[in-house]
Structure formats: structure tokens, C-alpha cells
Amino acid sequence: MKQRRLIVASLLACGMAGRAHADIPVSTELAQGIQAYQEERLKTALGHFIHALEADPSNHQAQTYVKLIAQKLQERQIRRAREEEVLILAATSKLMEDRHMDTRSVDRDLQQAVVTQKEREEADRHAKCTEAQMEAQLGRLCVANDLVLQVIAQDSSNREAQKLLSDLQSQIRRTLDSRKDLALPERFALEGFYAYGQADYTSAAAAWAQARSALDQSSSTEAAHQVALLHFDAYDQTARKHVEDERLALKARTLFTDGMESFEKHDFDKSLENFRQVALLNPDYPQLGAYLVQSEAAVERKRTSDMSDAKRQETAQAFAKGMGSLEQGNYADAKKSFEAVLALDPAHPQARLYLQQIETQNPRSTDPEAGKQHYEAGLIAFVAGEVEQAIREWHIALRFDPENPKVMGAINRAQRELNSSKELL
């Protein structure tokens, strides 16, 4: 508190000294101060609020903003001091280590600084909740929601933030029901925050889309600025991701149900297609692996029913050889192997696809579409339990699309699973 009073006192002095007294109405000072505050020009904002208080010392709004600014500046000062402390201790420890000096004392201080970080983070969260309460008192409910949701994102079980969010939900509802003078963008923004707090992401995304639409009449720069002031942009992205995830989950459930119906009717071609699409949407879908394997086996039996065991084995060996060559970037040998596969089994789907890739484009150039095909083939193989085959497909996918982060993540996951299974043997 003492430090905050010192900050306020020094800023008051700066604000008073930096501007000559002028006969400006309190309402104008407040409006200019709020505008500067929203744009994070805190010292300018403080100057306006100081002059508002000179004219009306009992003005509650100006008093609250002054406290809010002091708190923000204090938090910034403390945060900088913490960061500098850790940086200095870490640099000192490294310097002493390079000079073969005893670093134990410095390391203990550094460890203590790291250990107390959790306590400091908790204090920061409490400060944000306090700031949110002040913003709510000023009627800036979008800002208050943003602050509380930031705390919950850091600590989902934070009781203070959860209580504040509940209170804000009630305040938003009352505001929406009683305030007929709200500008449309703010009304839609608040409707979005209310729905978001209820985990109704579809309604939240729809409300924020309406807020953007209402702002589109302004210039693109001004619209972006107004969206920033309404503080919903990050949550809009999260809400839209939830909506998309729900849509894909529903699609996966529908495809799996259709696949099961086809499977029970022994229409394995159709069930296999459905289960493969489910695998692309959600490789971890419950029971998918077993039904995918059974459908593939049934389709494979039907496709190769006229082939002898020796011919099937020869086809499998030729395909494996082609995949090995493709993985190593030896496209000429891969082409020969896949041609051999098709000579033995003209209906072989993967051999036909990979041969077409080799023949229609420069294999040494990037090709995201080809990479996607191998990535999807890897997913299907992985779900079917063919982990090594999946890894091979994904390595080929990387050759075609080196920048795809999904591929590397899939390889790492499959490799961990493969290593774990080998350890159990």
C-alpha cells in the first residue's frame, strides 16, 4: 500500500505539473481519461482524472480510475523487478560457473526466486481479480470478463475468479435486460461473454460475429481497434474452435453409426470407407480400431479371393519394397515396385495412388496434397494397429510437406507407443 501511495503521489505531481489549469468540464476530462486508459496511455489518463478530481473531489469514477492506474503501474513495477532478479541471478551463476567459482550461494538464491514464483503468480492472479472488480464497478464488463477469464485460464480452480465470473454473469444479464441504450457492438459483445460463461460456445460465436458485423461499417483499422476495446477476440477464436470440434465430433459419431450399420449388413466396402473417415477425424474413437481392421480384412479377402497365397505374399513384398524406396526418396525403384504390385493385383488402391503421385509430379519438390494423402494413410494404419506402417507413411509425408507440424507430432506419438510395446516384450 505504501508503495502504491508513493506511485500515486509521484504521478499526481507529474500530472499537475505537466498541464496548466483550464476550465474544462468534468465530463470531458472523464471521457478523455477513459479513452486514454483504454488505449493503455496510463499517465495521460491519470492527468485527466486528476483534473476531474480538482473540479469535483468526490467524483467516484475518477477516484476508481486513479486507484486502478496506480495498481496497474505497481504490478508492472513488481513484475519488472522479479524478471530482473531472476535474470541477474542466472547470469551471475553462469559467470561464476565459467570462472570455476563456487555457485552454491547464488544457486540457492536463484532456486528460492523460482520457488517463490508460484506465490507471486498467485498474487498476480489476485491483483487481476481486484482489477476486474474495479472494472465491473465502472461498468466496463467486457474488460472485467477478460481479466477474470485470464485468471481462470491460468488456474481453472481459482475460487476467487470463479466467484467473480458468476457475479459478472449476473451483472451482464441485468445490464442486457435493463440497458436499452447500449451500442449494438457492446450489446453483442456482452451477449457473447454471457454465453461463453455458460459454456454455450455456439451462441457466443454467433453473438461475437454480430458484434464484428456491426463494426464492419467502420474502416478496417477502426473496426479492429473497437474489437480490441471490447476484449472478445481471443475468446471468439476459442469459441469457434469449440464449435468446430463439436461439429467434427458429431460428424464422427454419424459416420461411425453408419459404418456399424453397414458392417452388420456385411457391406464391408461401405463400412470400411466410413471407418476410415472416422479415423481421419478422430484416431482415438472408441472401438474404431477393431472394426476398421475387420472391415479391411473382409474387403481384402474379397479383393484377393482369386489370388493364390503365393501371389498375395509376392504382392505384399513388392508393395513393402515400394514403400521402402519411397521413404528413402528412391522414386525410380519405388515406381518399379508399385508397377509390379499392379501387375499382380490391378485393383490395389494404394499402389495405384502412389504410382500416380510419382508419375504426375516432381517427387523432389514439396507437395502438400501428396503429404496429406500419406498423413491420412498413416492415420488409418495407426488406428488399425499397424504402427510401423504408419510411421513409414508419415516419414514419406514429411518428404512431401516438411512444414506440417501434425506429421512430426504423429511420428513422435507412434514412436513412443512402439517403444513402449517393445519394452513389454
Q: Which ranges constitute the DSSP H helices of 56-158?
A: 60-98, 104-115, 117-137, 141-154
- pLDDT tens profile 190-228: 999 999 999 999 999 999 999 999 888 766 677 777 888
Report how far apart, in Å, the C-alpha atoms of 257 and of each of 262, 270, 272, 296 are.
9, 12, 12, 17
Residue 92: pLDDT band (50, 70, 90) is: confident
What residue ranges define each of the domains in the chain, with the CATH number in brackets? Answer: 1-115 (no CATH), 244-298 (no CATH), 303-424 (1.25.40)
- pLDDT tens profile 228-242: 889 999 999 999 999
**How far apart are alpha carbons 184 and 348 in whole angstroms?**
59
- pLDDT tens profile 122-166: 888 988 898 899 889 888 999 999 999 999 999 999 999 999 999
Grid cell for residue 57? 473531489
Mean pLDDT of 262-283: 93
The single residue listed with the C-alpha cell 488409418 is 380
- pLDDT tens profile 12-22: 444 444 444 45
Q: Is it the case that residue 307 has pLDDT exceeding 70? A: yes
Beta carbons of 398 and 414 less than 8 angstroms apart: no
Beta carbons of 176 and 194 less than 8 angstroms apart: yes
Residue 266: pLDDT band (50, 70, 90) is: very high
Residue 7: pLDDT band (50, 70, 90) is: very low
